Homo-oligomer: A and B are copies of this chain.
Amino acid sequence: MPARAVPELSGPAPAVLEANQRFYAAFQSLDIALMSAVWLHEDWVQCVHPGWDLLIGWDEIRGTWARIFSNTRRIQIAVSSVRVHAEGDVAWVACTEHITSAFANSFDEALVQATNMFVRREGAWYLVGHHASPLLNAPIPKIQ
């Protein structure tokens, strides 16, 4: 038995964290089909890339991921300081993204604070909101 209770891992938290990991796996894969499978395809889902305006609806969000993926040669994302909270069929994860990107002619490193929001539909958790913002002690990621 653990010496200390870990209440964050009771209830839906493991499934939410798994959905969060699938999001970052899709991000790293640069594969739009994997990214598409992570998101709920509704016209109200929302996304804020670092420094960008709000994007609303899966069609618009899909377009920006496709653009980011086509302009990125390779990307590595390590995630730290992960916090999860669930309320009924809604959950959100806060985490810090350590991103290393390779473009056609350059590299970029960035530290980003993210809030990822999920809803549960028929037992499965889907991403419905991604808000990512640059941390001031690191350069803003260059999304071309």
Chain A contact residues, CB within 8 Å of chain B:
44, 46, 48, 50-54, 56, 81, 83, 85, 87-90, 92, 94, 96, 113, 115, 117, 119, 128-129, 131-136, 140
Contact = CB atoms under 8 A, between A and B. Distances in A.
Given A90-B90, A115-B115, A51 B83 contact: no
8 contacts: A44-B83, A48-B113, A50-B133, A51-B136, A53-B113, A92-B129, A115-B129, A134-B134
Copies in the complex: 2
Q: Which 9 A-B pairs have the closest CB atoms?
A: A133-B133, A51-B136, A90-B90, A115-B131, A131-B131, A44-B85, A87-B90, A88-B88, A54-B94
Contacts of A50: 133
B52 A136 contact: yes
A44 B8 CA distance: 10
A51 to B, nearest CB: 4
A54 B92 contact: no
